[in-house]
Chains A and B, each alone.
Chain A
Amino acid sequence: MNSWIVTYLWFVPAAPFVASLIILTLSNARRRSAAALAIAGQIAALAMSILAFGQTLQTPGFRVVQNFTWFTFGEQALRLGFVFDPLGAAMLLMVALAGLCIFVFSVGYMAEDKNFTRFFAYLSFFSGAMLGLVIANSLLLLFIFWELVGLASYLLIGFWIERPRAAEAAKKAFITTRIGDMGFFLGILWLYGRSGTLLFYDRGNGCLESAGLAMLGASATFIALLIFCGAVGKSGQFPLHVWLPDAMEGPTPVSALIHAATMVAAGVFLVARVYPLFSLGPINGVTPSLTVVVWIGVTTALMAALIAIAQADIKRVLAYSTVSQLGLMMVSLGVGGVAAGIMHLLAHGFFKALLFLGAGSVIHGCHGEQDIRKMGGLRRLMPVTFFTYAVGMMALSGVPFFFSGGWTKEEILHATASWAPSHAPYYLILAGVVLTALYMTRQVIYVFFGNPRATAEHAHESPRAMTMPLIVLALCAIFFSVVLTPAWPWLHGYLTGEPVHFEIARLIQPMLFVSLVLVGGGVAAGIWIYRKAGAPERDRPAEIDPLEYAQPALFRFLANGMWIDELYDRTVIAFSWASARLSDWMDRYFWDGLVRGFGAIAQLFGIFTTSVGERGINAGVDETTVGTRGLGRLISAAHSGQIQTYLGAVAIGMLALLLLYAWLA
């Protein structure tokens, strides 16, 4: 079965790529055409995605593939391809739509920037790479787009290259993700070595299909874990999450794109895409690799949620919340709730883009201020931003019933609760839900409530180019829940290929009350703790966080990200410094000494041969010359020019011959 849609699917990533290339050739002054091109490319990609999405609705479990040979070497051919299935289709739609909103927002946000055209070129490139990643049908092709996404994130995080912190954050993001990608690449090689193909689906011979999986055997666990390394790096999971908060140095739309639609989603998507590798094996869906995924996810989710409570930068709070939510998705994938994880990924894509763009709008309104302690009272000054941000906050906190995030989180809780090996992840995630509600309440209170402080007094609402995407994304965050409810779990059925029925009775479930209580508790605790945040209270000065006032040591521990950066500084980085020093020393003294030693030996040999040449051969030649000259002088002395002497010699010779004759005869 080969549908037209997969044949032309490559247009989807190609449109932003082409736009990006054209924008790169434009001069800096042509801002309007750059923005128009980028948005046009994104609209084209979105339109193609919607068309393609329409195709997948016809049959459940729809999947088409289009493979082609990249190049042949010897007997073997390296084949790449595109695949289109519900997973890819849903991701395509989300990436294209969230991307479009972010593009439009950027027109307003970056209006003052002098490198406006370059920014849009990078954005389009980023979007194209991510769209390509989603539809790749080969682990190698996926890896190529994966690295392009990494490159684009590097370029965008370090977009304000004149700021040293941005440049360092870009380097950190690139290097940290590269550590994970190293494992990913090893996994690819191992997989290719075992199965001989990197295609996911290839009429039963792909590495994710039964024939391919059968060849893997016990190595599947290790391959899956190596591939998971890549996902850990890209999706900011513990212990490689350190780059994600620093990535906030980039422009805010970039943060939105990285944290919502593209980069971090790639890791979760990768695990979902190669899920058969993870789940290969026995016992009711519990494999060693999936267990690792669960525990990494739980650690990340809880740790990042704790750290988020103590952050002062509006974007860093959101960054840690992203890390935490990604951990949640990983848990969901690990316990077997693939659909739940992907649903949360999609919902998160919308509301996290909304939150980041809202934060961008706040920063824009406050003239570049990012410290939430200096804001306050913005709900009256920036009403549109406030309402949309509140929607995002409630979706992220998981307020049930009206917001997409609530439904998907419930699905995840469901999946985790029924995980056979242990109940610990379930309870830890419940704690994470409370913490999420707490830190989001804290942030909203700091930013939007109370009285305007410091910079917030002159805040203004953002232009329409920025508020429109906010409204669109807020509506997405709300109405997306229509397809998520247990009463009509359309998206769940769409992703898993199961038929769905509308049944209103399933809308009310015990889990609903659990999350209601947890989220309500988190929000209430937040309101109680931070009711006077930003204002002086008894002997606490206004600029001190209430939590910091109560527990200074704990607060500092969390505010510094649990000292993990410092830990890496003292261990990994110190180690690589030391090894660099050692290598330097080895180079300078050991290897250089060896080279110098060889040089000295050669020099000695040279001196030796010189002396042999001088004293032996040259002297011999000289002696010969002198001898020859002496002989010549002797002979030339005989040539006196006196004819009579010659004649005498002839006479003597004749006499001698005569005597000889006489003697002989």
Chain B
Amino acid sequence: MTPTLQAFLIVSTALFSIGLLAALSRRHAIFILIGIEMMLAAANLNFIAFWRFGPHHQPPIGVMIALFSIAIAAAEAAVGLAMVIAVYRHYRTTNVDQLDQLRG
């Protein structure tokens, strides 16, 4: 059985939904970050899938973009974790329910 685009898209949609669910429902900031990373991974999977099943599937292009995206995600995760640590130092908690200083 040959893998098809739909299969990839279903997997990535599931991955994105799981990530979104994690980002929305978990109370711990680290888990939210993990959820966001999962949604990013779903996006990367979409890139690769659309490249692979698209009309111009020369080797480097899609892979290159995915690689760049993973690098940016790593940087973003580093920033996110640093913020989590800063927030924790300030509020002595990482429970986002108690971080409501942005309330209008």
Task: Determine if chain A interacts with chain B.
Answer: yes
Residues on A lying within 8 angstroms of B by beta carbon are: 635-636, 638-644, 647-648, 651
| Contact residues in B for A638 (Cβ distance below 8 Å) | 104
Q: Which residue of the partner chain B has the closest CB to A639?
A: B104
Taken together as a complex, chains A and B put the C-alpha atoms of A79 and B5 apart, in Å, by: 123
B61 on interface, CB distance cutoff 8 Å: no
Taken together as a complex, chains A and B put the C-alpha atoms of A35 and B17 apart, in Å, by: 129
| Contact residues in B for A641 (Cβ distance below 8 Å) | 99-104
A647 touches B23 (CB 8 A): yes
B96 touches A642 (CB 8 A): yes
Q: Which residue of the partner chain B has the closest CB to A640?
A: B103
| Contact residues in B for A643 (Cβ distance below 8 Å) | 96, 99, 102
B32 on interface, CB distance cutoff 8 Å: yes
Which residues in chain B, 77-100, are within 8 Å of chain A measured between CB atoms?
96-97, 99-100
CB within 8 Å: A-B pair count: 31
Interface size class of B (residues with CB under 8 A): 10 to 19
A651 touches B104 (CB 8 A): no
Which residues in chain B, 1-59, are within 8 Å of chain A measured between CB atoms?
20, 23-25, 32
| Contact residues in A for B104 (Cβ distance below 8 Å) | 635-636, 638-639, 641
B103 touches A644 (CB 8 A): no
CB distance from A71 to the nearest CB of B (A): 83
Contact of B102 among A635, A639, A647, A648 (CB under 8 A): A639
B102 touches A651 (CB 8 A): no
| Contact residues in B for A642 (Cβ distance below 8 Å) | 96-97, 100, 103
Taken together as a complex, chains A and B put the C-alpha atoms of A312 and B101 apart, in Å, by: 117
A644 touches B102 (CB 8 A): no
Q: Which residue of the partner chain A has the closest CB to B35?
A: A647
| Contact residues in B for A651 (Cβ distance below 8 Å) | 20, 24
List the 3 closest A-B pairs by CB distance, nearest first.
A639-B104, A641-B103, A641-B100
A640 touches B20 (CB 8 A): no
A640 touches B24 (CB 8 A): no
CB distance from B10 to the nearest CB of A (A): 15
CB distance from A650 to the nearest CB of B (A): 10
B32 touches A644 (CB 8 A): yes
Q: Which residue of the partner chain A has the closest CB to B102?
A: A641
CB distance from B94 to the nearest CB of A (A): 13
CB distance from B78 to the nearest CB of A (A): 19
B96 touches A644 (CB 8 A): yes
Contact of B100 among A635, A640, A647 (CB under 8 A): A640
Taken together as a complex, chains A and B put the C-alpha atoms of A643 and B24 apart, in Å, by: 9
| Contact residues in B for A644 (Cβ distance below 8 Å) | 23-25, 32, 96
CB distance from A18 to the nearest CB of B (A): 95
Taken together as a complex, chains A and B put the C-alpha atoms of A17 and B20 apart, in Å, by: 117
Taken together as a complex, chains A and B put the C-alpha atoms of A642 and B101 apart, in Å, by: 8
| Contact residues in A for B25 (Cβ distance below 8 Å) | 644
| Contact residues in A for B100 (Cβ distance below 8 Å) | 640-642
Can you name 16 extra interface pairs (CB under 8 A) apart from A640-B103, A641-B100, A644-B23? A636-B104, A638-B104, A639-B102, A639-B103, A639-B104, A641-B101, A641-B102, A641-B103, A642-B97, A642-B100, A642-B103, A644-B24, A644-B25, A644-B96, A647-B24, A651-B24
Taken together as a complex, chains A and B put the C-alpha atoms of A640 and B23 apart, in Å, by: 17
